[in-house]
Structure 1
Amino acid sequence: MRRKVLDFVRNQLATQPPVVKVDLTGKTAIVLGANTGLGFEAAKHFATMNPGRLILACRNQTKGQAAVNNIKTTTGYTRAELQILDLANFGSVKKFADNFERDGERVDILVANAATLMDKYEPTEDGWETAFQVSCLSTPLVALVLLPAMMRTAREHSTFPRLVVVSSEVHYWASIEKAVRENPDMLKTLGSAEYCTPTKMMSRYVLVKLLNIFFVRALNAHLPPGSPLIVNAVNPGFCYSELTRGLTGVAAAFDRLMAWIFAYSTEVGSRHLVWASVASPDALRGAYINACEVTEPSDFVVSAEGEKIQDRLWDELVDILGKVDPRVTAAVEQYLSPSSK
């Protein structure tokens, strides 16, 4: 499918549907990056559905606790809790996963919303470009280390857990150049200092959102037939948020202009995250969701070349993350199967 600028304009100017409501009594919902923006608004919506447990995973203690307090005040829900998670640090992700191993609690909804938008190269302590590690490595790491908890939840409670990865329609304008595709280590290349020149960083956001789509489709392809886990990617639309706070200069000015003309609120955008998390699961396996509808992703993603790239990215990702945390390798071996394609 091709996405034109006019399609973007129509989508942004269209009236968005109200948030869908379901009963989450007894269930656990986790929202990454929940102290602000889309994540915070989605968490507020979940709070009105009476989940047994609502976890706001945030990297900042003060801002995260303020979000928890805000939810209690505005919704009356008293079981929201903060857990610290810094996706720019693999050690923080591992500690986050340790908590779930210790308490053995259920995981019904995992909304992988956290992201960062940067226009210059900044490495993490782990040696990767920051936006790349947050969106393309640590987000899958959280999903895979929590995979056993989601599968256990499905088995013990006869439910269909959801993994919702927040992507974007900008993936329609992204590709991976031939020189990188010919490299046996695509992910290592894309996250390296040598690759992340100022020119490449200008298109970093569209690239990581493309890789989000590939991850969702690859994970779904490796789930065995009849798996209870529903995994999908969702486009929240172009919203006012703090995501672009890392932009500077001309890029920041252009973003402000676009937001003034086209953006809708993060509350409106969060409705799409909630829909992907609770709507009827029949058609949502491995789906890309736009405007609360299943939509075909880009031509590049669904092409024969895209499928080959997807398989290679998956193999490299599992190898990289398995070295970060052996629980990834164990989860893949126990719960996933060779690609069903």
Structure 2
Amino acid sequence: MPVASIDMGDEAVTSLFPGPFIKSQFRTKTRLPPPGTDLTSCVAIITGANSGIGLHAARHLLSLKLSHLVIAVRTLPKGELAAAWLRQDYPFAKVEVWPLEMTSYASIQAFVARVDSDLPRLDFTILNAGLMKPTFGVCTGTGHEEVIQVNFTSTYFLAILMLPLCKVKAPTVKPGRLTIVSSGTSLTAKFVNRNLRPLLASFDSVDPKGVSSAAWDPTDRYFTSKMLGHLFFVRLLDYLRGEDVIVNLVEPGMCKSSDLHRDLSGPVGLFIEGWKNLCGRKPQDGAWTYVDAVCVKGPESHGCFLMDWEIHPFTKLVYEPEGKAIMNALWEEAMAEYAFAGVRDILERSKAGSL
């Protein structure tokens, strides 16, 4: 069996440049599923799949004869346009568009309730929805900063709520599959407020207690949101059973024409678009990492971070002495944030194998 991410601390990196970046973007070949991969009768959910890498992942799954796809989107008209495109090329499949607003806990709960009531089967879930913002903003419903809310707090709230459904709606001969989209940028985040408490609340002002040198750093805020995912995921592993649901993180690589940076403009936006066009993978190539993580990789990938189609170390902070206190604080604050939805009970039942 391959070495798990949690046991790869000696290989963890704090910088992607130049070596790891060059290897990832220029020396890694796209890996397709094994010949004969057939997803007939299978059902999949992809969040944020009306554009970008998520939409390409939807096409890939349908090209493998997926029978039923649910695209979860914030804006239904955009989702319907994407679905019409998919239905045109894959008329044999059922393609549905469901609303999901990742800044709203109520929307997330409603989405999960619909999965419970409307889907008799669920094979694959890919949590792809993500956000990068050029300016600081707060979600009106939660009071939290938008990037942290969408990329971390809401994503893991949704992941926990989906655990029971991923188990009970999977075919009896296979465990459920849940893949959360991460990023290699998680390995290099500055995370300047790591020692502030409460931790999550410290993200809700532009410059908490003067810890940052700039009023707003959109790139590092995105990087940090993904680093938080690694820190939380490692604590979550104590409650996950691979025989029930195989859960992993996946990094698609930097891709051309991805929709992540759509809100960036000015010099930063121009630089990122130019850099992506020069060095990025084709988005359809990056999307194959999702397919690999959710339906090609097996139990060996449970609890792991996948990068370049291989198991990769988590962010280095996971393995360092100071990381434990940060992970504990993050865990307890997230559990308090999610308490209204009974997540501790879900996790205890998951740990006991009684989902």
Counterparts of 2:92 and 2:26 in 1: how far apart (Å)? 33
Change (3 A) 1:227 1:315: farther
Deviation of 1:91 after TM superposition, in Å, equals 2.0
Please tell me the residue identity of whatever aligns with 1:150: C
1:146 aligns with 2:162: yes
- Structure 2 counterpart SS, 1:51: coil
Counterparts of 1:268 and 1:165 in 2: how far apart (Å)? 18
Give the match for residue 260 of structure 1: 277
Counterparts of 1:217 and 1:106 in 2: how far apart (Å)? 28
Give the match for residue 47 of structure 2: 32
Query: Residue deviations 1:178-215, cap 9 Å, x none?
Result: x54251x2122224455397334441011011112223
Counterparts of 1:219 and 1:51 in 2: how far apart (Å)? 30
Identity among equivalent pairs (%): 25
Give the match for residue 16 of structure 2: 4
Among candidates 317, 331, 334, match of residue 346 of structure 2: 331
Deviation of 1:272 after TM superposition, in Å, equals 0.6
Give the match for residue 215 of structure 1: 232
Question: Contact 2:67–2:92 (CA<8 Å) still a contact in 1?
Answer: no
Counterparts of 1:164 and 1:12 in 2: how far apart (Å)? 22
- Structure 2 counterpart SS, 1:114: coil
Counterparts of 1:295 and 1:122 in 2: how far apart (Å)? 33
Q: Which moved more, 1:2-11 or 1:80-89?
A: 2-11
Give the match for residue 281 of structure 1: 298
Please tell me the residue identity of whatever aligns with 1:12: Q
Counterparts of 1:214 and 1:180 in 2: how far apart (Å)? 11
Alignment of 1:93-242 (within 5 A): 93-103=108-118, 105-126=120-141, 127-154=143-170, 157-177=172-192, 180-183=194-197, 185-192=198-205, 195=208, 198-224=215-241, 227-240=243-256, 241-242=258-259
Change (3 A) 1:138 1:266: same
Counterparts of 2:232 and 2:32 in 1: how far apart (Å)? 26
Change (3 A) 1:102 1:216: same
Query: Residue deviations 1:105-125, cap 9 Å, x none?
Result: 233211111111112111112
Among candidates 264, 279, 284, match of residue 247 of structure 1: 264
Please tell me the residue identity of whatever aligns with 2:96: E
Counterparts of 1:55 and 1:118 in 2: how far apart (Å)? 26
Counterparts of 1:311 and 1:223 in 2: how far apart (Å)? 17
Deviation of 1:16 after TM superposition, in Å, equals 2.4
Deviation of 1:20 after TM superposition, in Å, equals 1.2
Please tell me the residue identity of whatever aligns with 1:149: L
Give the match for residue 73 of structure 2: 58
1:317 aligns with 2:329: no
Please tell me the residue identity of whatever aligns with 2:203: L
- Structure 1 counterpart SS, 2:64: coil
Counterparts of 2:306 and 2:337 in 1: how far apart (Å)? 28
TM-score, structure 2 normalization = 0.86
Query: How large is the RMSD of aligned CA atoms in angstroms?
Result: 2.2
Counterparts of 2:233 and 2:65 in 1: how far apart (Å)? 28
Give the match for residue 45 of structure 1: 60
Please tell me the residue identity of whatever aligns with 1:70: W
Counterparts of 2:68 and 2:290 in 1: how far apart (Å)? 18
TM-score, structure 1 normalization = 0.90
Q: Give unmatched runs, 5+ long, in structure 2.
A: 1-11
- Structure 1 counterpart SS, 2:102: coil
Number of matched pairs: 332
Deviation of 1:302 after TM superposition, in Å, equals 2.2
Question: Contact 1:105–1:149 (CA<8 Å) still a contact in 2?
Answer: no
Q: Give unmatched runs, 5+ long, in structure 1.
A: none
Please tell me the residue identity of whatever aligns with 2:128: N
Question: Contact 1:97–1:145 (CA<8 Å) still a contact in 2?
Answer: yes
